[in-house]
Structure 1
Amino acid sequence: MSGPDLLVLHALRCVGTAGLTRLAATTGLGEPDVESELIDLAVAGLVTRNADFGVWSLTGSGRAAHAQRIAAELESAAARPAVAAAFDGFLVLNPELLDLCTAWQLRSADGVMIANDHRDPSYDARVLDRFADFDRRAAAVCAELASALPRFGRYQTRLAEALGRATAGKWEELADSTSSYHVVWAELHEDLLVTLGIPR
């Protein structure tokens, strides 16, 4: 099981430079707990803070330490085969998610692609239905991952929450915010690559 320090270190590796709010959402920890872990990691020379923007990032030593600890976690849990199999399932779904995001942001008008202004509720409803179907299949992949390494369980929750916010009328939560379905999915992609040691 990942300790809170590794969760915070890993979140920074997957999302890049980030502030407390985003790191708390990513890890599932409270902001005070995230800040406490960041301070300890900074003392150890593994993370650094940009005071002008209030964001944190990994140092070179932090990236090296993270790589070692993630590899050790995967090895000690004997989880590589299960994570690799789930990654195959992710790759099957990935092009569909990208198509869905495009369908949400753009639509055809007389054969020309234009920005979706969300003035056609029936069109948006059809795309949202497709997202809901996609999410059911994505949840199965996330469940496989969580069975192999519990820290992956957070993705299923975050994806469902983003879809729920979008269904409630916050359109940006599908593809246009840092908490959107698409961004969480992209973080999962990066997490899988990092966990398996696969270069981009």
Structure 2
Amino acid sequence: MSGPDLLVLHALRCVGTAGLTRLAATTGLTEPDVESELIDLAVAGLTTRNADFAVWSLTDAGRAADVERITDELESAAARPALTTAFDGFLVLNPELLDLCTAWQLRPADGVMIANDHRDLSYDARVLDRFADFHRRAAVVCAELSAALSRFGRYHVRLTEALDRTRAGKLEELADSTSSYHAIWAELHEDLLATLGIPR
């Protein structure tokens, strides 16, 4: 099981520069716990804080340390075969997710695509139904990932929460915010590439 220091270090690797709120959401830790880990990592030379914007990022040493620690985690758990299989399932779903996000942001009108202003409730409902079906299939992949490495379990929780927030009326939570379904899916993609050592 990943310790909090690795969770925070790797979250920065996957999301890039970020503040405490986003890192807490990503890791499932409280903001004070995230900050404590970041300070310890900074003392070790692995993270740095931009005081002007109250955000943190990895140093070059931090990026190298993450690669080493994540690889050690993967190999010690003998999880590479299972994670590789689950990643194949992710790659099957990935183009569909991108198409669904486009359908949420744009809609057809008189033969052309226009920005979706979300006034056509029946159109939005159809897209959300498709998202719900996608999410059921994504849950299977997420379960395979978390069975291989428990830290991947956080993704299904976060994806479900983003979909629930969208259904509750926060329409930006599907594809247009850093906490959106799309953003979390992109983090998962980055995490899989980083964990398996696959270059972009």
Per the TM superposition, whether the score is higher than 0.5 is yes
**Equivalent in the alignment of 2:31:** 31
Give the letter aligned to residue 190 of structure 1.
E
Equivalent position of 2:152 in the other structure: 152
Q: Distance in 1 between matches of 2:130 and 2:173?
A: 15
Distance across 2 between alignment mates of 1:136 and 1:170: 21
Question: Who is 1:178 aligned against?
Answer: 178
Structure 1 outlier segments of 4+, above 6 Å? none
Q: Name the amino acid aligned to 1:45.
A: G
Residue 78 of structure 1: SS of its match in structure 2? Answer: coil
1:29-178 aligned at under 5 Å gives the runs 29-178=29-178
User: Counterpart in 2 of 1:21?
Assistant: 21
Q: Distance in 1 between matches of 2:167 and 2:95?
A: 22
| Secondary structure in 1 matching 2:29 | coil
What letter matches 2:49 in structure 1? R
How far apart are residue 100 of structure 1 and its match? 0.2
Question: How many residues are aligned here?
Answer: 200
Counterparts of 1:181 and 1:65, CA distance in 2: 29
Q: Which residue identity is paired with 1:41?
A: L
Supply the distance in 2 between the matched residues of 1:128 and 1:171 (Cα, whole angstroms): 11
Deviations for 1:3-31, whole angstroms, at most 9, x for unmatched residues? 00000000000000000000000000000
Distance in 2 of aligned mates of 1:115 and 1:65: 43
In 1, distance between residues paired with 2:104 and 2:60?
Answer: 38
One-letter code aligned to 1:63: R
Deviation, 1:121, is 0.7
**SS of aligned partner of 2:169:** coil
Return the alpha-carbon distance in structure 2 between the equivalents of residues 128 and 75 of structure 1.
39
The residue type equivalent to 1:106 in the other structure is L
Q: How many angstroms apart in 2 are the aligned matches of 1:108 and 1:129? A: 18
| CA root-mean-square deviation | 0.3
Task: Report the AA paired with residue 93 of structure 2.
Answer: L
Deviations 1:32-52 (A, max 9, x none): 000000000000000000000
Letter of the 1:198 counterpart: I
Where structure 2 has 5 or more consecutive residues not aligned to the other structure, the ranges are none
Matched position secondary structure for 2:96: helix
Unaligned runs of at least 5 residues, structure 1: none
- When the two structures are superposed, what TM-score results if normalisation uses the length of structure 2? 1.00
Query: Take 1:123 and 1:63, find their aligned partners in 2: how far apart are those partners?
Result: 43
Aligned equivalents of 1:89 and 1:149: distance in 2? Answer: 16
Separation in structure 2 between the aligned mates of residue 41 and residue 18 of structure 1, nearest angstrom: 15
